[in-house]
Amino acid sequence: MRKLLVIGIGAGNPDFVTVQAINALNKADVFFVFDKGESKSGLIRLRKEICERFIKDRSYRFVSVDDPVRDPLPTGYKRGVEEWHRERAARLASRIATELGEDGCGAFLVWGDPSLYDSTLRLLDLLRDTGDLPFDCEVIPGISSVQALAAQHRLVLNSIGGAVQISTGRALAENGFPPDADSVVVMLDRGDGLKAAAAQEDVEIYWGAYLGTPDEELVSGRLRDVIDEIERIRATGKARSGWIMDTYLLRRIRPQ
């Protein structure tokens, strides 16, 4: 039976790759990657560099899967994402069937950790539900951008006895700062969440982009004081690389 490995490779620094992940890399015959176009080609290149560094005395190859274009105006956000996932799963199933033998081992290199805002496991659940492509699956955890952010800012994410919520920029923009949380970690923000938080709340921010890479950027302070600097760095980074990955922690400023 085919074996599929979902390998968390950390938030950008090859040193974040764990011993368990290295062992998994050295089992794979084929690495499947979604081709997101020229602007995201650097993400594939970084995955290949990790393989070149850690795979020893073993042949392997990369297989590209054309990533479907996601409808920018879906009928409801959740429905749009679900339709996109179904199309991705169908394309992935076709490539696995033709590129990986029935006794082969395939792998997916997941930025950060597979459990946190990544769709790979959801796609494999869709494949499993069809029953047309039997496979075993193993998940290898990785160091997420949340952990990297906390380490680089030398932070404990939660206040004493307090809760931490992990959310998205979209949710922060639409729903505001969660009323029951002192601290919120935000991912996948196009900038709307930052602007909403700055307008609505008095919070401090610990922000990081390209964490673990040579392009890493860190900013901290009262959000209203540093938001212009963050937006400038985001715009410059995206113009240079074609993409940006940033994560940040917001914490309410309590009266003394």
pLDDT averaged per 10 residues, the chain (length 256): 96 93 98 74 82 95 87 67 89 94 95 94 92 91 96 92 90 89 92 91 93 94 96 94 91 76
pLDDT in tens, 180-205: 888 999 999 999 999 999 988 789 99
pLDDT of res. 178: 86
- Name the CATH superfamily for 145-252: Tetrapyrrole methylase, C-terminal domain (3.30.950.10)
Find out whether 90 and 34 touch, Cβ atoms under 8 Å.
no
pLDDT of res. 39: 45
Strands 135-140 and 203-209 turn out to be: unpaired
Edge-to-edge strands of the sheet including 135-140?
61-66, 30-35, 105-110, 2-8, 135-140
pLDDT of res. 251: 93
CATH 3.30.950.10 residue window(s) in the chain: 145-252
pLDDT of res. 46: 86
Give CA–CA dist 8/139, Å, rounded: 8
- Name the CATH superfamily for 2-140: Tetrapyrrole methylase, N-terminal domain (3.40.1010.10)
Give CA–CA dist 146/17, Å, rounded: 15
Query: Which tokens in the block code for residue 251?
Result: 């914490």
Give CA–CA dist 116/191, Å, rounded: 20
Q: Which residues pair with 183 in a beta bridge?
A: 164, 251
